[in-house]
A and B are shown apart, each in its own frame.
Chain A
Amino acid sequence: MEAKTAEFTSNVARAIADSQLQGTMTETGPRFIEKRAKARAGLPEFDALRDQARDIKDHVLAHLDLYLERYEAKVVESGGHVHWAETAEEARAAILGICRKLDAKLATKGKSMISEEIGLNQALEAAGVTPVETDLGEYLIQLRNEPPSHIIAPAVHLTRDQIEADFRKAHTHLDPNRDLTEIPTLVEEARTVLRQKYLDADVGITGANFLIAETGTSIIVTNEGNGDLTQTLPKAHIVIASIEKIVPTLEDATTILRVLARSATGQDFSNYTTFSTGPRRPEDPDGPGEYHVVILDNGRSNVLGTEFQDMLRCIRCGACLNHCPVYQAVGGHAYGWVYPGPIGSVVTPALIGIEKAKHLPNASTFCGRCEEVCPMRIPLPRLLRHWREKEFEKHLTPGAVRTGLGVWAYFAKRPKLYQFGTRVAARLLSVMSGKKGRLASLPLAQGWTRYRDMPAPQGKTFQAMWKERRHG
């Protein structure tokens, strides 16, 4: 997917001016938070499970090669194929190769962020394979040709009215006078349209929440059951997943599953948790004839062993987005690439380069709410700060900021000079404010005074007054 991360500032301005978006964000944001809080309260060992989940992934990341090899051997043993893809291009090529062999015309798809990351739909279309998203949210944004705005709720930015209009535009074979005012009716219509696609599809493509080294199994969690139909009905099931999805055992997967849905939607468990191991066996009543797993690196292995490694623990639950006041203010599209929110601001620079994504790590107040709720205990503010350090090292920090910081640091390291400066500033700003105690505008601080008044200093610095009091 093409990155629009460099236009962050204008993306933000557009998002803030979009009253429809602001309305949906205000409505949906608090709901995710309440549900997670309730789920967490209902499980006394929740925080202990977070520690276990973190430890499992840390162990995997320390022995990633070992577990990936073990996983591959098990997939092959169960009759499946593993395709290693170092880049997005290699991943697309592997999938298109499978489609070509099967002479595929139609591909149904379960929800997959990796598919978005590698721009799979566009590649399929260009190769003459029609992709159909079967996750309702993904289906909605596919109709609009938009990227997801949230990791687990891709269409969270849309209103019911927008969805109704899109359905009327897309489903022209249905009665134009049908009643679509109720949400269940919209869901039913999508279900009916998609049902036939499952039956007609040549390949089914899904992501994976986990790859299990012990058994060669891939796991997906869904709430609509669309993933099951996507992967069992067509001739081939293609799983697309990134290297860090691996866990050693089934037991490990179930530990992490206990924190996943609770953190994501506030459910104890997702409606469907589907385990897939290899293609259909002779004694199976159904299942795909072929089972392929495309394992993507796309820059992730470069993160191993660096100060950024913790990001690879992420299980894409979306809790950090739901709790992030910046995400809640601007929505997912403003971030300009596949992964929004705090985790997106950490992952995106690693995958597309800090030069292109330099705004993202800066657009945070470091309030720390993301880290507070992360089920995998990823220290998100610290990782964001590490990106700022990289920017500073590479001289990507804007000139004005760098100069301002340099001047400030020069003073901060010279207490006598600093205190002289603050005495002058306190006096000056206080005089400028008159008797009002605040300034409505201030040169060099327009970022502040555009939206709020600047409280004025009381007139003398504490240091000066303290000295007077002591020696006075």
Chain B
Amino acid sequence: MELTRPRVGLFVTCLVDLFRPSVGFATVKLLEEAGCVVEVPESQTCCGQPAFNSGDRKDTADIARAVIKAFSPYDYVVAPSGSCAGMIKAHYPELFATGSPDRAAADALAAKTYELVSFLVRVMKQEKVAARFDGSATYHDSCSGLRELGVKAEPRKLLRTVEGLDLVEMEDAEVCCGFGGTFCVKYPDISNVMVAKKTKKIAATGADLLLAGDLGCLMNMAGKLKREGSTLKARHVAEILAGDTATPPIAEGE
């Protein structure tokens, strides 16, 4: 049996690495419970999106080559983020000329790269999780996961199997929260209008907890909720699916 366990390279993402390691450990737990062997290549830093979305193709390609090299030995690459997985899956191939060795390597990596929750459902055929959360939660569809990778049903499917959790849909769950990477600091006024609309819809659900699959969006929404004085909590979906709520929610103290 041991031989058939897929080897997964965890692309932990720069935000999880720096801000919220608990999401990384929840991810490892979920992957291991699903029957994967998880390894974390030490040489990873970031997927290169800040450079890519700033028009800096050269630095992006350099970073992409390093990621491709670090992760090519694995059966799968999994990230607890639709945005970073989308970068590798949808955009790495675009960086290199058709027919080049770099392109072939990028295509190969793209083919085996997944966002965490969709990996669990689509590849590992997971039907349910063994977790418990007492309260109501609402799930925000982060843009890249939703539109680049088609992640929509998977997180809801698994969340419905969390014991005690009542999943409530917010209005406009598919509308951008205004994070957009560097966008939120380059155009803070526009970003603020967007996130304020979002927190209104979140609050209107009456849910106790906000969930999403991307830490960037979550930091934006949680930061706004806290500034507005809301008592709503925010967590990465992996933490709830792993039943790992020992650490305080995002932007909350001890």
Q: Of B113-121, B123-131, B177-185, which stretch is located at the interface?
A: B177-185
Q: Mark A353-390, 1 if CB is under 8 A from B, else 0.
A: 00000000011111111011000000000000101111
Do A326 and B63 touch across chains, with their CB atoms under 8 A apart? no
Which of A366, A392, A458, A467 meets B247, CB within 8 Å?
Answer: A458
Do B45 and A367 touch across chains, with their CB atoms under 8 A apart? no
Which of A12, A401, A415, A452 meets B224, CB within 8 Å?
Answer: A452
- Contact residues on B (Cβ < 8 Å of other chain), bracket: 35 or more
Query: In the assembly, what is the distance between CA of A440 and CA of B25, in Å?
Result: 27
**Do A447 and B188 form a contact, CB below 8 Å, given A367-B147, A413-B62?**
yes
Which of A372, A390, A397, A453 meets B54, CB within 8 Å?
Answer: A397
Is B193 in the interface zone, CB < 8 Å from A?
yes
Do B17 and A422 touch across chains, with their CB atoms under 8 A apart? yes
**CB contact list, A397-416 vs B, under 8 A:** 397, 401, 405, 408-409, 411-413, 415
Query: In the assembly, what is the distance between CA of A372 and CA of B174, in Å?
Result: 12
Is B222 in the interface zone, CB < 8 Å from A?
yes
Do A461 and B190 touch across chains, with their CB atoms under 8 A apart? no
Between A and B, how many residue pairs show CB distances below 8 Å?
A: 207
**CB contact list, B71-85 vs A, under 8 A:** none
Is A462 in the interface zone, CB < 8 Å from B?
yes
Q: Of A95-103, A129-137, A431-439, which stretch is located at the interface?
A: A431-439
Is A153 in the interface zone, CB < 8 Å from B?
no
Closest residue of B by beta carbon distance from A25 = B193
Q: Output the least CB separation between B55 and chain A (Å).
A: 3
Query: In the assembly, what is the distance between CA of A451 and CA of B219, in Å?
Result: 13
* Residues of chain A with a CB closer than 8 A to B185's CB: 445, 447-448
Query: In the assembly, what is the distance between CA of A49 and CA of B196, in Å?
Result: 37
Q: Mark A428-471, 1 if CB is under 8 A from B, else 0.
A: 00000111111010000101101111111110111101110000
Query: In the assembly, what is the distance between CA of A457 and CA of B24, in Å?
Result: 13
Do A466 and B40 touch across chains, with their CB atoms under 8 A apart? yes
Q: With A362-B183, A463-B12 given, can you name 4 additional A-B contacts, CB distance below 8 Å?
A: A363-B187, A365-B181, A415-B42, A462-B24
Interface residues of A (CB under 8 A from B): 9, 12-13, 16, 325-326, 329-330, 362-369, 371-372, 385, 387-393, 397, 401, 405, 408-409, 411-413, 415, 418-419, 422, 425-426, 433-438, 440, 445, 447-448, 450-458, 460-463, 465-467
Sample (20) of A-B pairs whose CB atoms are under 8 Å apart: A325-B176, A325-B194, A363-B183, A364-B180, A365-B183, A365-B191, A371-B147, A385-B53, A388-B54, A405-B54, A413-B45, A413-B63, A415-B66, A422-B14, A435-B254, A438-B251, A448-B185, A455-B251, A458-B21, A466-B24
